Amino acid sequence: MRIHPFVYGFLVLGVFFGTILGFQRAGIWSTSGKITASGDQVQPSATDVDTIKGWMTLEQITTTYQVPFQELITQFELPADTAPSTPIKDLESDTFSVTNLRTWLQIRLQPVNPVPPGDSSPLPAPQGTPTPANTDQVIPDPTAHVSTARTITGKTTLQELLDWGVPENAIQSVLGSELPALGTPIKDFVTGKGQEFSPIKTKLQALVDATN
């Protein structure tokens, strides 16, 4: 059967757009991790701290997890003039990151078990700054770094590490493999291998600090 070139062109566009529209009608479409298929903004889940993303704002966190804004500022030593609309990733530092925030909120979410009256076993000493809400909870200890300019975040690339003077073999030793393309964000590379970013970040940060 012969197809006229014009008809062929319409068929190409029809099949292409028809497929896309079909998926969109079925709700299978999203162009951003920030919005759902229906166009609503993705919100963190009040029961699952892993749903917290770097682009989410402090306001979203305080609302969802019912944390006083000032407590968040104090806990993570954030600048006092921080706006509630600031995304988490823009505030990443030695003391504040998505991982730290998740850990802290996870502990806050856990129910407080009252100590039985006759129990004489000593309580473990708190390892961090207690919060007013849960004074018997273990708070992640902020690291001892003082540098803020050379802080590894989720966006830091391997090239930046090298630029900061960290030797290539030292990075390889921490990552446990050959270096991929230098423009690759470290976080993408590490999580892509199925590893946790946080411990590797700590080790790499120690290397960065050692170069100062």
* Residue numbers at the binding site for other proteins (CB under 8 A): 1-6, 8-9, 11-13, 15-17, 19-20, 23-24, 28-35, 37, 41, 55, 87, 90, 180-181, 183-185, 188-189, 191-194
**Between residues 97 and 140, which has the closer beta carbon with respect to other proteins?**
97
Smallest distance, other proteins to C-beta of residue 63, A = 18
User: Residue 185's beta-bridge partner residues?
Assistant: 157
Smallest distance, other proteins to C-beta of residue 47, A = 19
Instruction: Give the integer Cα–Cα distance in Å for 29 and 22.
Output: 10
Smallest distance, other proteins to C-beta of residue 6, A = 5
Helix 98-109 vs helix 58-65: crossing angle, to nearest 10 = 10
Smallest distance, other proteins to C-beta of residue 161, A = 16
Instruction: Give the integer Cα–Cα distance in Å for 88 and 211.
Output: 27
Which amino acid is present at 47? T
Instruction: Give the integer Cα–Cα distance in Å for 109 and 64.
Output: 12
**Between residues 12 and 133, which has the closer beta carbon with respect to other proteins?**
12
Please report the DSSP string for 77-106 in residue order.
T--TT--TT-BGGGG--SS--HHHHHHHHH
**Between residues 35 and 109, which has the closer beta carbon with respect to other proteins?**
35
**Between residues 50 and 141, which has the closer beta carbon with respect to other proteins?**
50
